[in-house]
Amino acid sequence: MQGKFIVIDGLDGSGKTTQTKIIAEKLASKGIDAVIQAEPTGGEYGKMCREALSGARKCSKSQLALLFTADRIDHNLNEKDGINLNLNMGRTVISDRYYYSTLAYQGVDVGMNWLKSLNIGCSDIRKPDLCVFLDLAPEKSMERINVGRSPDEIEIYENITYLTSIRKRFFNVIEMLGDRENIAVINADGSVEGVASEIENAIMKLY
């Protein structure tokens, strides 16, 4: 039996990483083998994406968009630990970010139609069984981002102006994808346990 592919997406600071770990543990307690992954990945293209986000690698906006897409294709097809491999082994894959982030963060800069064609139109990029979008006000997002981090650790998209614009774009993406996608929008401004419970409820509808 093939596993399920679940994406946890949202603004930086929305709790994606924390919730991904909690959900994997909850699924494991139900006897569901879950694998945690993230984008950018730890692969060659993912490393280049991270370098660009930190400012260490100089590239144009369209080059960065292509790097993210190349990393996503590798995330799907990688024969060592890719999405397809894990799903075919019956494991549930939970990914921290996916093409929703690319469309929201870069769609305006390089053209939404082009990005949509690269990602949604690519046969090697799988559609998730469920995307959980963790919605959080940009001000709250920045509060969480700034906790325990020095200024030189802040990435290029992590400022209030960008985050306000990107949150709006996320909802544009959700509306644009329409009936094609199974997307659950969850308020991330609650307790960790409360948000996890809502995510769990959305995920268990798949089983």
Q: Which tokens sit at 55?
A: 């400012």
Q: Which tokens sit at 54?
A: 């930190």
Report the alpha-carbon distance of residue 10 to residue 12 in Å, rounded. 7
Q: What pLDDT was estimated at residue 151?
A: 53
Q: What pLDDT was estimated at residue 146?
A: 73
Considering 110-114, 163-167, 194-198, the range whose residues carry the highest mean pLDDT is 194-198
State the pTM of this model: 0.90
Which stretches within the chain are classed as H helix?
Answer: 16-29, 44-54, 61-77, 83-88, 99-110, 112-119, 138-146, 160-177, 192-204
Residue with the larger pLDDT of the pair 108 and 30:
30
Task: Render pLDDT for 134-183 as a digit per residue (tens, 0 to 9).
Answer: 999 988 888 887 775 555 554 555 678 888 988 999 999 999 998 899 99
In this predicted structure, the answer to whether residue 130 has a pLDDT above a threshold of 70 is yes
Distances in Å between the alpha carbon of 119 and those of 33, 37, 103?
Answer: 27, 18, 9
Task: Render pLDDT for 94-107 as a digit per residue (tens, 0 to 9).
Answer: 999 999 999 998 88
Task: Render pLDDT for 31-50 as a digit per residue (tens, 0 to 9).
Answer: 999 999 999 999 999 999 99
Query: Would you tell me how many other CB atoms lie within 10 Å of the CB of residue 50?
Result: 17
